[in-house]
Amino acid sequence: MKVIGHRGAAGSAPENTLISFLKGLEYKVDGFEFDVQLSRDGEVVVCHDERVDRTSNGMGWIKDFTLQELKRLDFGSWFTQLSVYQEIPTLRELLDMFKTFNLELNVEIKSGLVQYPEIGEKVVNLLAEYGLLDNSIISSFDHQLLLDLKQHFPRVKTGILYDCAPIKPWLYAKFLNAQYLHPAWHFVSSELVVSSAVFGIGINTWTVNSSFAAHKVRTAHVARIITDYPQCFRKGANGEAIWLGL
């Protein structure tokens, strides 16, 4: 069971900033999950929210800022009074950081309040340019986007994000030609893992931040856990991630 840092190491540093990913590397994660959106001038930037209000000193929609304008905002100081100034990273900057590490990447494409018609192709092309496509999963709550992406780029591995209790989700994943299901942790069960495995579908779950959640997903034998606190896990002799506590 692999440990994937959520937005870097979001429990220890401002989410989706370079310092957060550096923290994750310090904690020896197996990989990272992060979110991407498009600036007004078409640059792929790393940020969870469609607006900058919560995680910066600015206000407004990411889609309305150029990259240069986004780079003027501080995405670090909101986290704690001791946090330092952090720029919003681009996907290219992040891949530059990751290229010398053997990491798995889970790139979540945001496509809800704001639609970014070209974002999937841009993400795939960047991952391919850095030779990281085979180490990456592209996930989204927009399942039509994932289906379209798979049809245009068959090599891409996709993960279906959901926060509900669908009936036989492994059949849905098979229909969408997805390689992974990405349920919220409370929808994980041994039945889900075993039934999905019959169809060659793996289970990666989020966001595992407590002993209860960690025990539930570990006993179900999921493939990967996504957590804000990667430093709180250690690998057991059988490769399972064991929760040590906050």
Report the percentage of the chain scoring pLDDT > 70: 100
Tell me the C-alpha distance between 205 and 193, whole Å. Answer: 11
**Looking at residues 78-107, what average pLDDT do you find?**
94
Angle between helices 211-220 and 190-198 (to 10 degrees): 40
Phi/psi of residue 15, nearest 5 degrees: -55, 145
Residue of 6, 152, 182, 215 marked active site? 6
Class for the domain spanning 2-243: alpha beta
The residue written with tokens 């849905």 in the block is 172
> Of the residues 48, 143, 186, 215, which is catalytic?
48
Q: Where are the domains of the chain?
A: 2-243
Q: What is the pLDDT of residues 63-76, one digit of tens each?
A: 999 999 999 999 99
Query: Catalytic: 6?
Result: yes
pLDDT for 236 equals 83
* CA-based max dimension of the chain: 49
